[in-house]
Each structure stands twice: as structure tokens, then as C-alpha cells.
């Protein structure tokens, strides 16, 4: 997994490439926490280039969403492919996150 | 149709860094056996990752002196994956939480076994030399059209 961090106005966008799984989730978690502690309040995770996510990856997203909501911010998601959408539906995490079909829609939603 | 039966036996240290390579090997064999794209891209990698993760983190508590043994059999009808650790074992039914309830939805953990059971046709747990989780995913004849 690799990820890049970009700014789109006041939204911090994380593009996740590859897998988000138990072996690499801490890298993303720490980087998002660094951004939150640096003042980021609107965070978007873009999964356009993500192949699959395991339960640890989902757990990190839940953890980060809690953390940023405690600061009055929000973490939103975009660009889930059909498999990732199924994953969020199976676990009902689609009810916990605001998910947009693409980045433009997600940025407008903040 | 795919190739004939393929088997794979691996032993890896209790280190989550090995998971992706093992998953890739299993996926390659399922692709060769013409499993449908959704199985190859989603069901199999997620379920195998969860099984290995449980074995390394829970079964062996990341003790690098302990190993995880993986046995895979793929043929035209099914994928069978066995993941064996050196832990004491667990009660599959008791340990499978429903992460979709309002009490559990906000938990950071507790989705692994649930996903394995959602994504594979059968998940069993038993004792052999160590603690074994066996997962089976059937390749149905209708999958030939879906692949």
C-alpha cells in the first residue's frame, strides 16, 4: 500500500493505492492522526486505486472517524468500487460513513 | 475451464508482513482455476487475509518463534484453505460477533470472523497439530458464465 496526501481547499485528501490491511494500516493511521493534530478537520479518503481492505483496515477507518469527530471534524470516503461497496454494506459501515461516488461529489459534501 | 488441481503448502513466521505474499499465491492459483473475478479480487483475498491475521495476531500472539502453516487445494470445484497456528484454539461460534448491531458498529475490531463467514461458503475450526481454521469456497458451474 502507498498513499498520497493532497489538499483540496480546506479538505485533506488521502489517496490509498493497493491494499489497506493489517500489515500496513498503521502507516495510514499515523499520517491521518498527524494531519488531525496539525489542524485538519475535513478529511477525505479516496479509494479509487484501492484493491481491497480487510477488517483491520476497516477498524482503522472507524478509529480515525471517531477521533476526528471528537475535534468537530469529519472523515468521509469516496470512490468505492463494487467490492469495497459490498464490504461496507456487509458490515453496515456504509451507515457510519458518508460515502460519495467520486471525489468531486465528496468535496462538495463538506 | 481452468487447469487441474493445484496444491500449496507454506509455513510463514508470525509476522503480518508475510500476509500479502501468501494471499497473492492463493489468488494466482484461483485465477488459474478460472474462479470468477469477484472471488479472485474480493472474497478470497479478504477471507485469507483475515484467517492469516487471526493466526498471527491471536493464535500466535505475534511470537516470531512460532509459525503459521497454510495448506491450499484448488480445483475446478472448490478452493480449500487451511490455516494452522500454535495457539490454544477458540470457539468459532462464540468468537464470531455480529459487527452490524448498534452496540458493535463503532468497534474497531470484531469484523474478521464475520467477514470470513460472509465471503466463504464454509468456515470450520478444529484441533490438529495446532489450531486449524479451514475455509471452503465452491466454484459453481454458473460461475463459468460469471467469470
Query: How large is the ipTM?
Result: 0.92
> With an 8 Å Cβ cutoff, is B14 touching chain A?
no
List B residues 59-88 in contact with A (Cβ-Cβ < 8 A): none
- Predicted pLDDT at B89: 86
Q: Decide: B34 and B141 in contact? Cβ < 8 Å.
A: no
Closest CA to B33 of B90, B79, B95: B79
Indicate the pTM of the whole model.
Answer: 0.93
What's chain B's length in residues? 147
Rounded to 10 degrees, the C-alpha dihedral B40/B100/B70/A49 comes to: 40
pLDDT-derived band at B144, boundaries 50, 70, 90: low
Smallest CA–CA distance from B18 into chain A, residue? A23
Q: Decide: A21 and A54 in contact? Cβ < 8 Å.
A: yes
- Predicted pLDDT at B3: 62
Tens digit of each residue's pLDDT (9 = 90 or more) over A58-71: 999 999 999 999 99
Q: Decide: A85 and A53 in contact? Cβ < 8 Å.
A: no
Q: Is the pLDDT of residue B1 over 60?
A: no
A91·B42 Cβ contact <8 A:
no
Smallest CA–CA distance from B110 into chain A, residue? A55
pLDDT mean across residues, chain B: 92
List all residues 6 or more positions away from B129 whose beta carbon is below 8 Å from its beta carbon: B84
Closest CA to B109 of A67, A58, A96: A58
Tens digit of each residue's pLDDT (9 = 90 or more) over B71-114: 999 999 999 999 999 998 888 888 999 999 999 999 999 999 99
B19·A23 Cβ contact <8 A:
yes
Q: Is the pLDDT of residue A14 over 60?
A: yes
Q: Which of B19, B42, B108 sits opposite A21 (nearest CB)?
A: B19
Can you tell me the distance from the alpha carbon of A90 to that of A37, in angstroms, rounded to the nearest whole number? 32
B109·A95 Cβ contact <8 A:
no
List all residues 6 or more positions away from B61 whose beta carbon is below 8 Å from its beta carbon: B14, B87
- Predicted pLDDT at B143: 65
Q: State what percent of residues in chain B have pLDDT above 70.
A: 93
A23·B41 Cβ contact <8 A:
no
> With an 8 Å Cβ cutoff, is B102 touching chain A?
no
List all residues 6 or more positions away from B141 whose beta carbon is below 8 Å from its beta carbon: none
What's chain A's length in residues? 110
Find cell 516470531 and name the residue.
B64
Question: Residues of B with CB below 8 A from A28's CB?
Answer: none
> With an 8 Å Cβ cutoff, is B57 touching chain A?
yes
Q: State what percent of residues in chain B have pLDDT above 90.
A: 82
Question: Residues of A with CB below 8 A from B36's CB?
Answer: none
Amino acid at each position: 500500500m502507498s498513499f498520497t496526501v493532497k489538499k483540496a481547499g480546506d479538505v485533506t485528501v488521502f489517496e490509498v493505492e493497493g491494499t489497506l490491511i493489517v500489515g500496513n494500516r498503521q502507516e495510514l493511521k499515523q499520517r491521518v492522526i498527524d494531519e488531525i493534530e496539525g489542524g485538519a478537520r475535513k478529511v477525505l479518503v479516496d479509494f479509487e486505486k484501492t484493491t481491497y481492505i480487510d477488517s483491520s483496515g476497516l477498524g482503522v477507518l472507524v478509529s480515525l472517524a471517531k477521533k476526528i469527530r471528537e475535534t468537530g471534524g469529519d472523515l468521509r470516503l469516496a470512490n468505492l468500487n463494487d467490492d469495497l461497496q459490498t464490504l461496507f454494506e456487509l458490515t453496515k459501515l456504509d451507515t457510519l460513513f458518508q460515502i460519495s461516488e467520486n471525489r468531486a461529489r465528496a468535496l462538495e459534501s463538506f | 475451464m481452468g487447469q487441474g488441481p493445484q496444491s500449496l503448502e507454506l509455513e510463514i513466521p508470525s509476522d503480518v508482513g508475510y500476509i500479502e505474499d501468501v494471499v497473492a499465491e492463493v489468488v494466482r492459483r484461483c485465477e488459474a482455476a478460472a474462479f470468477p473475478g469477484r472471488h479472485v479480487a474480493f472474497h478470497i483475498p479478504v477471507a485469507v487475509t483475515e484467517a492469516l491475521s487471526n493466526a498471527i495476531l491471536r493464535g500466535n500472539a505475534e511470537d516470531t518463534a512460532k509459525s503459521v502453516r497454510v495448506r491450499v487445494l484448488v480445483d475446478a470445484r472448490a478452493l480449500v484453505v487451511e490455516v494452522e497456528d500454535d495457539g490454544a484454539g477458540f470457539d468459532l461460534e462464540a468468537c464470531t460477533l455480529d459487527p452490524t448491531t448498534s452496540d458493535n458498529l463503532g468497534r474497531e475490531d470484531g469484523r474478521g470472523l464475520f467477514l470470513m463467514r460472509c465471503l466463504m461458503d464454509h468456515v470450520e475450526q478444529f484441533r490438529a497439530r495446532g489450531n486449524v481454521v479451514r475455509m471452503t469456497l465452491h466454484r459453481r458451474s454458473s460461475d463459468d458464465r460469471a467469470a
